[in-house]
Amino acid sequence: MPAARDRMPLAERVEQLLAPGGPLTVVAAGDPVLRHPAEPFDGQLEPALLARFVEALRVTMHAAPGVGLAAPQVGVALRIAVIEDPAPVPQDVRLARGRVPQPFRVLVNPSCRPVGTARAAFFEGCLSLPGWQAVVARPGRVRLTGSDEHGRALDEEFTGWPARIVQHETDHLDGVLYVDRAELRSLSANRTVAERWAQPTPGTAARELGFDLPE
């Protein structure tokens, strides 16, 4: 039987979520909302409510903290996500991972497709699976299309870590979690990653845990 939340009109659901104020609750893995494709946004939220919802996503992402958050992660099955990455990492990590600062932006009905065949593998985590990380191989360059919260078209290429962020968030909108794409032999607690696998690349982890990285 569907939960009462799932039977509620989206606008009413969002109003209910926003009523307490402050960061929203992040939905944990195992909730069906994370396992079904989200509904394309087509004006289900009127502009003022959409603006409030986007701001709540931003506040929640910052509070977590994270570099991206998709609407299904707060229980709203709409194709909306937010990203922002100040990239506060050492220079060697920044160079190895292609991690450069990304301003706050809103992705509405985004779609990603690979550009070229190069792939890169790094540890990745998720706010909906707290406490764990695993190595995920993803295309190193992608083309993102969609629009922003004002309906302006987006058509942009992302490389390096920003490409990873937008792929992770669009996956959420397709009902996909990073563990679906991960090398499961690499699955590690956050503490273990910090203590053993904090190198700029996961080469040491691959050797010691026994998994392959893309060439």
Residue numbers in the known binding site are 126, 168, 172
Between the alpha carbon of residue 78 and those of residues 116, 170, 173, the distances in Å are 29, 11, 8
Check the CA dihedral 44-13-68-61 and report its sign: positive
Point out the catalytic residue in the list 169, 183, 208, 215.
169
Number of H helices, E strands in the chain: 7, 8
Planar angle of CA 57, 59, 60, nearest 5 degrees: 65
Q: Binding site residues for Fe cation, as ranges?
A: 126, 168, 172
Whether residue 169 lies in the annotated active site: yes
What are the residue numbers of the active site? 169
